[in-house]
């Protein structure tokens, strides 16, 4: 008599299909040993927004009654396994529905597992992952985040590698044979994908994490008002007008205290204040009004508000003045402008290091040139999955015909 | 350790799929071989229109799929298609359903057996996607058949039953199937999908007979009428609704015979009510936390049961009175509201109060409003409601005041 509860934490839209495949894969794999299951997305995450953290859940149980026992919740309050398919989510998760910032391991039970796809070291990841009051395991699949879109899917085998890894983590529920069988039968499965799942099973890296390890920062949260405290007529106070940065100069807008949005970010802009021509384009075009106007007329991207969309980089007329860099190489949300003002030489070398790292400036979503998809796919699979010699890795062809 | 309480289905019989309630409806529509479907997106109903579109795109279903410019046209189009003999489907949610109101009103008097899926959603404002039952309840007085479903399996089965009931010449009324947004429309569960041959044995073709709009059968539909005519037309509608009781009973019996599953009692599910001191009543997926809470409470000696209403129109008055009047106290949990109603109670609570008025024995009835806007109905909410019911049972009477559960206060 037992149940296994898993959550899959992912980037809205970019990883929607990936997460859904994993959740369904868990249930269908467990069904191979007669288990019951249910797969669902967190309704409050929908409609999804690009990159905004979202969750799917999969619950499997020995009996239908036990399944109901664990389903009798809007969403699980505890999970045995947290699957995280983008390591920048290690910094925390904030749904668009004003939930506050939640550590990635918040729902993971004591001695449970956080399974992550990442190329970072455990040490680097633990700078981001918040501390837990109980020990847990950090299991890593060596792969970069698999991003695609609502209508396209990146066939880099991430979904089956996660399923293979889960067979290692929870063999009582998901046998490797059961997982393999389910993958082979799934409409998006294939023998090649079964081989990738088995490789992930063998290669999984697992490390115990102690309660003393991790990011000591207390994540921001807020109290929700009582019904009689809320203003009537479905009205909320407007965000107040902002203030000058200092000495009557510059401008810093006030922002929504209930939704900071920065965990949406997989990349952040790094600004070269020396070459900024103060043209205002980044400030005007930013869809999230994340730029603060500095007293000298330059623009500082506020890292509590930036969603990392990259529009500023696209509209900036000065070459290399704004460069998008992968979020994982940053450790805090401190102001770049303040760092620059304090010590310009130090800032320049810091900036050169960040934008000079070619791995970190590869876009996490979208492509810069035609053919990049095929190129990345081969590289990804050589690294962790099965080598592809021709074409796109196959799906079960018979399911494609009517 | 693993226990499979259901063996894998034999080949050529039912196949088992992991699908959501919405996808289960689309499976049923494919099996029922619908002719015309209209669509206009609104969450959570839109998951159904997506699933049907996929079926058509995959060549599994041949049907006219018309994306309307709004819900008003969406329902108007299928109304017309039905009068020329097409088997039709449409649906909506929340304020989308409200926008179609004029067409929803005219459908019952025209005796159009339209099947609609209402993905229950809170009405604006505030813009929210979570479940409330007020949207489907808009049409409760108008001649629509209304039922609430609970699982993906019930979604599939009820959709098939719905066509058989609505398209029966004795009824010819529109029928709305209500599915709780999120809990049912967006959760994928293991569901048995029967083969087409079985469905063909269960579901006859739609035959509009003398009401068919066709050049070979010259008729005028909906001429203008005054006070000399209207009340007779309403009387006809009332008769069709009354006949639905028999037709629904027959359809479920036939469903059980053909498919080998389905409930004995079409009208409501009774869970551990046989010896129950307190019976809780609700509709839709609220049954899940209530059932789990009941198991917990029974383990501690509290004899609690659940009646989950499937059919709200026609309302199963006699059977419900028989099932409820023996309890020591009743707790009706509404996922809807009716501001300014008697005692400020929810719609279901007041219907049950009315149904019990002439009963020989009327247990104390407590009314609860809970889970609005998709708020989780917690086990604690159910425990609290049950304890209040026990208090009323002990006192032998109930305070008619309505209790709101799970509100921040």
- Tell if the CB–CB gap between B288 and A68 is shorter than 8 Å: yes
Residue range B77-86, pLDDT digits in tens: 999 999 999 9
Indicate the pTM of the whole model. 0.91
Please check whether residue A69 touches B, CB under 8 A.
yes
Residue A41 touches partner B, C-beta closer than 8 Å: yes
Over range B380-409, report the average pLDDT.
95
What stretch(es) of chain A map to CATH 3.40.920.10? Answer: 3-209
Residue with tokens 């009323």: B392
- The parts of chain A modelled with pLDDT lower than 70 are 1, 364-373, 376-377, 379-402
Q: What fold is seen in the domain B15-259?
A: Rossmann fold (3.40.50)
Parse chain B into domains and list their residue ranges: 15-259, 268-404
- Of B323, B309, B321, B319, the closest CA to residue B359 belongs to B321
Half-sphere exposure of B24 (CA within 13 A, CB side): 32
- B249: number of Cβ within 10 Å: 14
What pLDDT does residue B2 have? 42
DSSP letter at A172 equals T
CA B399 vs CA A264, B332, B367: distances in Å: 50, 13, 9
3-state secondary structure of B23: helix
Tokens of B240: 């069709």
Return d(Cα A353, Cα A350) in angstroms, integer: 5
Say if strands B64-67 and B115-120 run parallel, antiparallel, or are unpaired. unpaired
| pLDDT score of B3 more than 80 | no
Same fold, B15-259 and B268-404: yes
**B328: three-class secondary structure by DSSP:** coil
Nearest CA in chain B to A61: B2
Does any CB of chain A come closer than 8 Å to the CB of residue B125? yes
CA A401 – CA B21 distance, rounded (Å)? 25
Q: What secondary structure does DSSP assign to B102-168, as a single string?
A: HHHHHTTTTT---EEEEEE-PPSSSP--S--SHHHHTTTTTT-EEEE--SHHHHHHHHHHHHHHHTS
pLDDT for residue A47: 81
Question: Do you know the residue count of chain B?
Answer: 409
Architecture of domain A262-356: 2-Layer Sandwich (3.30)
Structure tokens at B48: 């159904």
Contact state of B288 with A62 under an 8 Å Cβ cutoff: no
Q: Is A228 on the interface with B (CB under 8 A)?
A: yes
Which of A40, A41, A43 is most worth mutating to test chain B (most B CB atoms within 10 A of its CB)?
Answer: A43
Contact between chains at B292 and A62 (C-beta distance less than 8 A): no
Q: Is B203 helix (H, G, I), strand (E, B) or coil?
A: coil
Q: Which residue spans of chain A are classified as CATH 3.30.70.20? A: 262-356
Q: Cβ contacts (< 8 Å) between B21 and chain A: which residues?
A: none
Tell me the Cα Rg of chain A. Answer: 22
Alpha-carbon gap, residue B38 to B184, rounded angstroms:
21
Contact residues on chain A for B271, CB-CB shorter than 8 A = none
- Kindly list the residues from chain A whose CB atom is less than 8 angstroms away from the CB atom of residue B18: 24, 27-28, 31, 37, 39
Contact A39 B188 (CB under 8 A): yes
Record: contact A228-B43, CB cut-off 8 A: no
Please, which residues 188-227 of chain B have a Cβ atom closer than 8 Å to chain A? 188-190
List C-alpha distances in Å: A285 to A106, A226, A269, A320, B301.
Answer: 35, 37, 14, 18, 64
Q: Inform me whether the C-beta atom of residue B299 falls under 8 Å from chain A C-beta atoms.
A: no
Q: CB distance from B376 to chain A under 8 Å? A: yes
Helix axes A372-384, A191-203, angle to 10 degrees: 50
Cα–Cα distance for residue pair B293/A258, rounded to 1 Å: 33
> CA torsion angle for B290, B295, B300, B304 (degrees, to 10)?
50
Sheet-wide strand order for B115-120: B64-67, B36-39, B88-92, B115-120, B175-180, B145-148, B311-313
Confidence of residue B12 (pLDDT cuts 50, 70, 90): low
CB proximity A47 to B under 8 Å: yes
Tell whether the model's pLDDT for residue B45 goes beyond 80: yes
Average pLDDT for residues B93-105, to the nearest whole number?
Answer: 97
- Position B202 pLDDT exceeds 90: yes
For B5, other C-beta atoms within 10 Å of its C-beta total 10
A3-209: CATH number: 3.40.920.10
A46: which chain B residues are within 8 Å (Cβ-Cβ)? 43, 129, 186
Partner A contacted by B15 (CB < 8 A): no
pLDDT digits (tens, 9 = 90+) for A276-333: 999 999 999 999 999 999 999 999 999 999 999 889 998 999 988 999 999 999 999 9
Nearest C-alpha of chain B: how many angstroms from A41? 7
CA atoms within 13 A on the CB side of B261: 12
User: Are B39 and B50 in contact, with CB atoms under 8 Å apart?
Assistant: no
> Which residues, in sequence order, are CB contacts of B264 under 8 Å at separation 6+?
B252, B256
Return d(Cα B20, Cα A54) in angstroms, integer.
19
Give yes or no for a contact between B206 and B113, defined as CB atoms under 8 angstroms apart.
yes
Q: Which two tokens stand for residue A112?
A: 């449970």
Q: How far is CA A58 from the centre of its chain?
A: 18
Strands B329-334 and B278-283: parallel
CA A184 distance to own-chain centroid: 28
Which residue from B348, B334, B271, B267 is spatially nearest to B305, judged by alpha carbons? B271
Q: With beta carbons less than 8 A apart as the criterion, state whether A245 and A294 touch.
A: yes
Give the span between the Cα atoms of A156 and A372, in whole angstroms.
13
Give tens-digit pLDDT for A213-261.
Answer: 999 999 988 899 999 999 999 998 888 999 999 999 999 999 988 888 8
Q: Average pLDDT of B107-111?
A: 97
| Residue of B18, B293, B376 with shortest CB distance to A74 | B376
**CB-based contacts of A40: which residues, under 8 Å, 6+ apart?**
A23, A56, A57, B20, B186, B187, B188
**Contact across the interface for B408 and A224, Cβ inside 8 Å:** yes
Query: Chain A partners of B376 at a C-beta cutoff of 8 Å?
Result: 73-74
Closest-CA residue to A147 (of A49, A266, A286, A39): A266
The terminus-to-terminus CA distance of chain B in angstroms comes to 45
Cα A271-A274-A278 angle, rounded to 5 deg = 75
Chain A residue with the nearest C-alpha to that of B126: A234
Under an 8 A CB cutoff, do B188 and A40 touch?
Answer: yes
B127 touches chain A (CB under 8 A): no
What is the torsional sign of CA A23, A29, A32, A33? negative
For the segment B41-52, the average pLDDT, to the nearest whole number, is 95
CA distance readout (Å), A9 to A6, A265, A295: 10, 14, 40
Whether domain B268-404 has CATH 3.40.50.920: the reply is yes
Residues in chain B with CB shorter than 8 Å from the CB of A74 are 374-376
Query: What is the model's pLDDT at position A75?
Result: 85
Encoded tokens for A181? 């069988």
Whole-number average pLDDT of chain B: 95
- Render B365-387 in DSSP notation, one character per residue: EEEEE--GGG----HHHHHHHHH
Q: How confident is the model at residue B5 (pLDDT cuts 50, 70, 90)?
A: very low
- Which residues on chain A are in Cβ contact (under 8 Å) with B120? none
A4 inside 8 A of chain B by CB = no
**pLDDT-wise least confident of A66-75, B64-73, B184-193:** A66-75
B365-386: average pLDDT: 96
Residues of B in contact with A34 (CB under 8 A): 2-4
Give the residue with greater pLDDT, B266 vs B3. B266
Best of B187, B271, B375 to disrupt the A interface (most A CBs within 10 Å) is B187
**Would you say residue B264 has pLDDT above 60?**
yes
Is A36–B190 a contact, with Cβ atoms under 8 angstroms apart?
Answer: yes
In angstroms, the Cα distances linking A14 to A153, A310, A365, A379 are 9, 15, 7, 20
Which residue matches tokens 């006699």?
B318
Taking residues B89-101, what's their average pLDDT? 97
The answer to whether B43 faces chain A, any CB pair under 8 Å, is: yes
Question: What integer pLDDT is reported at residue A391 of this predicted model?
Answer: 35
The whole-angstrom separation of Cα B273 and Cα B331 is 13
The residues that bridge with B268 in the sheet, in sequence order, are B309
- Is the pLDDT higher at A74 or at B189? B189
């Amino acid at each position: 008599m037992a149940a296994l509860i898993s959550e899959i934490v992912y980037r809205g839209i970019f990883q929607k299909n990936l997460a859904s495949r994993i959740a369904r894969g868990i249930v269908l794999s467990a069904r191979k040993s007669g288990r019951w299951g249910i797969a669902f997305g967190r309704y409050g995450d929908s409609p999804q927004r690009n990159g905004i953290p979202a969750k799917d859940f999969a619950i499997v149980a020995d009996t239908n009654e036990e399944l109901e026992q664990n389903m009798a919740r809007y969403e699980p309050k505890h999970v045995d396994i947290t699957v995280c398919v983008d390591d920048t989510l290690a910094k925390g998760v904030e749904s668009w529905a004003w939930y506050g910032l939640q550590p990635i391991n918040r729902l993971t039970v004591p001695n449970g597992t956080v399974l992550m796809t990442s190329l970072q070291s455990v040490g680097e990841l633990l700078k981001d992952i918040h501390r837990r009051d109980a020990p847990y395991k950090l299991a890593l699949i060596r792969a970069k985040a698999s991003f695609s879109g609502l209508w396209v899917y990146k066939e880099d085998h991430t979904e089956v590698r996660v399923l293979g890894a889960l067979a290692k983590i929870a063999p009582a529920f998901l046998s490797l044979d059961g997982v393999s069988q389910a993958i082979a039968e799934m409409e998006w499965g294939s023998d090649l994908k079964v081989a990738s799942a088995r490789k992930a099973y063998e290669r999984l890296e697992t490390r115990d994490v102690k309660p003393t390890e991790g990011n000591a920062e207390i994540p921001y949260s807020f109290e929700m008002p009582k019904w009689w405290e809320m203003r009537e007529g479905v009205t909320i106070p407007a965000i107040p007008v902002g203030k000058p940065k200092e000495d009557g100069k510059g401008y810093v807008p006030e922002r929504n205290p209930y939704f900071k949005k920065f965990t949406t970010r997989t990349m952040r802009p790094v600004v070269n204040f020396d070459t900024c021509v103060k043209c205002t384009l980044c400030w005007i075009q930013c869809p999230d009004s994340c730029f603060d106007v500095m007293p000298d007329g330059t623009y500082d991207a506020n890292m509590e508000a930036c969603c990392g969309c990259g529009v500023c980089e696209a509209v900036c007329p000065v070459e290399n003045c704004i460069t998008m860099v992968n979020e994982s190489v940053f450790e805090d949300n401190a102001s770049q402008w303040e760092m620059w003002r304090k010590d310009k030489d130090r800032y320049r070398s810091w900036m050169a290091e960040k934008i000079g790292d070619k791995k970190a400036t590869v876009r996490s979503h979208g492509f810069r040139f035609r053919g990049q998809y095929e190129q990345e796919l081969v590289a990804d699979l050589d690294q962790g999955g099965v080598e592809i010699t021709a074409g796109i890795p196959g799906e079960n062809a018979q399911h494609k015909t009517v | 350790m693993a226990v499979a309480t259901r063996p894998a289905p034999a080949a050529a019989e039912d196949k088992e799929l992991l699908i959501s309630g919405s996808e289960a409806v689309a499976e049923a529509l494919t099996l029922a071989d619908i002719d015309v479907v209209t669509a206009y997106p609104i969450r959570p109903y839109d998951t159904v229109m997506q699933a049907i579109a996929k079926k058509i795109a995959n060549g599994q279903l041949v049907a006219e799929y018309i994306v309307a410019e709004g819900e008003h046209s969406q329902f108007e189009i299928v109304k017309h298609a039905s009068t020329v003999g097409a088997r039709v489907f449409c649906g909506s949610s929340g304020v989308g359903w409200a926008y179609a109101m004029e067409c929803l009103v005219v459908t019952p008097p025209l005796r159009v057996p339209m099947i609609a899926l209402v993905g229950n959603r809170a009405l604006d404002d505030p813009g929210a996607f979570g479940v409330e039952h007020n949207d489907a309840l808009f049409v409760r007085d108008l001649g629509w058949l209304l039922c609430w479903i609970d699982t993906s399996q019930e979604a599939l089965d009820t959709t098939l039953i719905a066509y058989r009931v609505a398209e029966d010449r004795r009824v010819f009324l529109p029928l709305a199937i209500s599915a709780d947004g999120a809990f049912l429309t967006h959760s994928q569960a293991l569901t048995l999908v029967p083969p087409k041959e079985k469905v063909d044995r269960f579901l006859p073709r739609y035959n509009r007979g003398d009401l068919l709009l066709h050049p070979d059968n010259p008729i005028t539909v909906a001429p203008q009428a005054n006070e000399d005519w209207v009340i007779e037309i309403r009387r006809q509608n009332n008769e069709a609704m009354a006949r639905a009781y028999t037709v629904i009973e027959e359809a479920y019996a036939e469903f059980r015979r053909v498919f080998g599953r389905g409930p004995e009692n079409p009208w409501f599910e009774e869970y551990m009510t046989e010896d129950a001191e307190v019976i809780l009543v609700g509709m839709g997926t609220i049954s899940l936390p209530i059932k789990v809470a009941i198991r917990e409470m029974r383990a501690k000696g509290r004899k609690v049961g659940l009646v989950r209403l499937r059919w709200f129109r026609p309302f199963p008055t006699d059977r419900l009175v028989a099932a409820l009047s023996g309890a020591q106290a009743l707790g009706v949990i509404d996922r809807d509201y009716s501001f300014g109603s008697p005692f400020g109670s929810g719609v279901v609570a007041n219907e049950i109060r009315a149904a019990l008025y002439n009963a020989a024995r009327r247990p104390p009835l407590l009314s609860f409003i809970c889970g609005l806007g998709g708020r989780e109905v917690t086990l604690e909410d159910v425990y609290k409601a049950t304890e209040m019911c026990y208090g009323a049972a002990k006192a032998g009477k109930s305070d008619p005041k309505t209790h709101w559960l799970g509100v921040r206060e």
